């Protein structure tokens, strides 16, 4: 087999057959090329969508639920509908005790304030938070650190500001850590500067939760909470159980769906993940179907070629060529065409992904981020193409071995 593979006469005959049918060969190669090109581009685009999704939600604990209090829509146990509900730190303690499924629980308070640094000032949202927030939503710190437990215990007058706030209140390249800014006539020491992620809740600056409650006279009331479940927890049931417990604590009708608002990030991410999985399945289906169609086109072309070369095959058989040699040549031609088409398809596909990344993957708001295809997947697709090319080549190869020298010469 290897001797036959490196025989110059074999390749001369293959080249001669391709040269006689240039147009037909080019059309055949384009059919297979398009199949693997489409597979590469679609897989790369799907990966770009997945990367962009991870970039948007990457700093969040994805199995999280956000809960806030609203007004009741039903009367219950002597209370009229329309009653305003307030979440408290007592609710937080009870939820931590009752739910072993909780991994992180971050109570939050928020207010708007004018912040001043010398002659510069601006209106910003200040949030009172615990250090656990950095675990639920990881902060991309540029300078300094985030709030720690000592800040909470000491009710420290410290603040972590975002990058835009830093640019508005400080001079360019001025080092902010250790400097003081003023909010509500109180001096806060800047301990950190962070870069906002793709998802935020209107937060511009963070101070210790205990400091916030004291400065803004919130007592034990909180604005809302972020709850992250342990891995493997049914996030939808978890959300329902949390809200039902809060309804019991605040004497709200269990069927009242307005008293507590919530946003289930796990559910929303699950929808996007399901879409991406479906997209990848569709990509493989379309790509492989197109590959198979292209390979079948090669088989049809070779069948026509065998018929056109009946006299040539008959002469080769008459001068001693064995059926195996005839079969090997036809199969080799099939594999050669699929290999050339596959390599060109991969190259063109990679070039198109480069263009997609250049035009759609850059900037502050990319559409497809780093649309690439893993090399093992490319190799699997390429070898699958070669296997299909070999199998489809067996059909015309078998037909070629059926040609009898005398009948072939008589037909011509």
Summarize pLDDT for 205-252 with one digit per residue, the tens: 999 999 999 999 999 999 999 999 998 899 899 999 999 999 999 999
The secondary element (H helix, E strand) that includes residue 108 is strand 102-117
**Angle (CA) 68 70 74, round 5°:** 130
Q: Out of 201-215, 230-244, 265-279, 346-360, pick the least confident.
A: 265-279
Query: Is the pTM value of this prediction over 0.75?
Result: no
Cα separation, 127 vs 16, whole angstroms: 77
Confidence of residue 406 (pLDDT cuts 50, 70, 90): low
Range in 107-111, 199-203, 231-235, 243-247 the model is least confident about: 199-203
Q: Which residue has the higher pLDDT, 199 or 135?
A: 135
Q: What are phi and psi of 212, to 5 degrees?
A: -60, -45
* 3-state helix vs strand vs coil in the chain, percent to 5: 55, 20, 25
Average pLDDT over residues 312-317: 68
Query: For the segment 7-36, what is each residue's pLDDT rounded down to a tens digit?
Result: 666 667 666 666 767 777 787 788 778 888
* Exposure string for 152-169, b = 16+ CB within 10 A, e = fewer: beebbbbbbbbeebbebb
| Three-class secondary structure assignment of 246-260 | HHHHCCCCCCCCCCE
Report whether pLDDT(186) > 90: yes
Handedness of CA 145, 146, 149, 151 (dihedral sign): positive
Most confident of 6-15, 292-301, 336-345, 400-409: 336-345
- Mean per-residue pLDDT, 331-343: 82
Q: What is the mean pLDDT of residues 311-315?
A: 68
Distance (Å, whole) CA 222 – CA 231: 27
Q: Please, which pLDDT band fits residue 82 given cuts at 50, 70 and 90?
A: very high
Question: What's residue 249's pLDDT?
Answer: 94
Give the pLDDT band (50/70/90) at residue 2: very low
Binned at pLDDT 50, 70 and 90, residue 303 comes out as confident
Whether the Cβ atoms of residue 227 and residue 96 lie closer than 8 Å to each other = no
The residues, any chain, with a CB within 8 Å of residue 78's CB and separated by 6 or more, are: none
- The dihedrals phi and psi of 81, each to the nearest 5 degrees, come to -70, 160
Mean of all residue pLDDT scores within the chain: 84
DSSP string, 3-40: HHHT-HHHHHHHHHHHHHTHHHHHHHHHHHHHHHHHHH
Q: Which residues pair with 39 in a beta bridge?
A: none
């Amino acid at each position: 087999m290897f001797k036959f593979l490196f025989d110059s006469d074999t390749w001369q005959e293959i080249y001669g057959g391709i040269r006689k049918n240039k147009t037909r060969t080019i059309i055949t190669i384009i059919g297979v090329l398009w199949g693997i090109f489409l597979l590469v581009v679609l897989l790369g685009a799907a990966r770009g969508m997945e990367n962009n999704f991870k970039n948007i939600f990457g700093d969040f604990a994805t199995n999280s639920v956000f809960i806030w209090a609203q007004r009741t829509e039903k009367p219950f146990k002597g209370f009229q509908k329309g009653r305003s509900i307030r979440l408290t730190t007592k609710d937080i303690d009870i939820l931590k005790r009752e739910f072993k499924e909780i991994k992180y629980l971050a109570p939050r308070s928020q207010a708007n304030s004018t912040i001043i640094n010398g002659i510069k000032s601006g209106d910003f949202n200040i949030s009172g938070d615990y250090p656990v927030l950095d675990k639920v939503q990881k902060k991309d710190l540029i300078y300094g650190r985030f709030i720690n437990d000592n800040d909470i215990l000491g009710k420290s007058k410290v603040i972590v500001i975002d990058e835009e706030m830093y640019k508005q209140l400080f001079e360019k390249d001025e080092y902010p850590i250790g400097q003081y800014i003023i909010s509500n006539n109180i001096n806060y020491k800047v301990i950190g500067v962070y870069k906002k992620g793709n998802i935020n809740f209107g937060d511009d600056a963070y101070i210790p939760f205990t400091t916030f409650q004291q400065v803004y006279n919130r007592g034990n009331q909180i604005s809302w909470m972020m709850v992250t479940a342990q891995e493997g927890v049914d996030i939808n049931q978890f959300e329902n159980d949390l809200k039902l417990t809060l309804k019991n604590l605040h004497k709200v009708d269990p069927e009242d769906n307005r008293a507590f608002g919530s946003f289930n990030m796990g559910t929303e991410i699950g929808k996007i993940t399901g879409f991406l999985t479906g997209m990848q399945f569709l990509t493989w289906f379309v790509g492989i179907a197109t590959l198979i169609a292209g390979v079948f086109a090669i088989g049809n072309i070779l069948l026509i070629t065998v018929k056109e070369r009946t006299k040539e095959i008959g002469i080769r058989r008459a001068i001693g060529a064995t059926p195996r040699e005839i079969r090997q040549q036809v199969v080799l031609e099939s594999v050669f065409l699929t290999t050339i088409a596959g390599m060109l398809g991969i190259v063109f596909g990679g070039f198109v992904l480069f263009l997609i990344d250049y035009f759609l993957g850059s900037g502050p708001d990319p559409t497809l981020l780093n649309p690439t295809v893993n090399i093992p997947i490319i190799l699997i697709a390429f070898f699958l193409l070669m296997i299909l090319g070999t199998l489809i080549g067996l059909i015309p190869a078998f037909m070629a071995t059926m040609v009898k020298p005398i009948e072939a010469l008589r037909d011509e």
